[in-house]
Amino acid sequence: MSDITIREMEQDEEFSAWFSELLSEEDAAEGTSSRVEDRYLVLSSEIGDWVGGLRYTLQGGVAHLVEVAVAPAERGQGHAHRLLAAFEERAASNGAHLVEFWTDDLRSESFLLAIGWRRVIARTGYIGGRDWYLMEKTIYPS
């Protein structure tokens, strides 16, 4: 047996393709779906400038919002709320039954509650020593 090493690797196209194929073969053999796919929604201006966007994953009917950001000059105009609505719509159209995200900022909690989100759990001192909250919403696949 040769020496085996474990090392961290930056994103590499060749390894990524090999690893994806390996996971797909395992899913096919077991009849499961363990694949997590990064997906992006982009908000742009009428001239094509990027205003903001979000990244989410979709796995087994659950869409997990990973990150959302709006350019500083564009904040306070409801862009994040539009992105959140688009996230819900896109998740539903891709067969998700649940959307979720972790946040350490509950300033928008009343807005989220009004549109059907709920706080599921609070974790004290979770990431960066701050309190974080898991928010979720049941949606209906379209």
The pLDDT value recorded for residue 34 is: 67
Whether 8 maps to a domain, the answer reads no
The pLDDT value recorded for residue 1 is: 55
Whether 64 maps to a domain, the answer reads yes
CATH number of the domain bearing residue 55: 3.40.630.30
Q: How many distinct structural domains can be found in the chain?
A: 1
How do strand 132-138 and strand 118-123 relate by DSSP bridges? antiparallel
Over its length of 142 residues, how does the chain's per-residue pLDDT go in tens digits? 578 878 887 777 788 788 888 888 888 888 777 678 789 999 999 999 999 999 999 988 999 999 999 999 999 999 999 999 999 999 999 999 999 999 999 888 888 999 999 999 999 999 999 999 999 999 998 8
Whether 3 maps to a domain, the answer reads no
- Which amino acid, one-letter code, is at 88? E
Whether 35 maps to a domain, the answer reads yes
Whether 93 maps to a domain, the answer reads yes
The pLDDT value recorded for residue 43 is: 94
Whether 17 maps to a domain, the answer reads yes
Domain that holds residue 75: 13-138
Whether 27 maps to a domain, the answer reads yes
The pLDDT value recorded for residue 75 is: 94
Cα separation of 138 and 85, whole Å?
A: 13
The pLDDT value recorded for residue 3 is: 87
Whether 112 maps to a domain, the answer reads yes
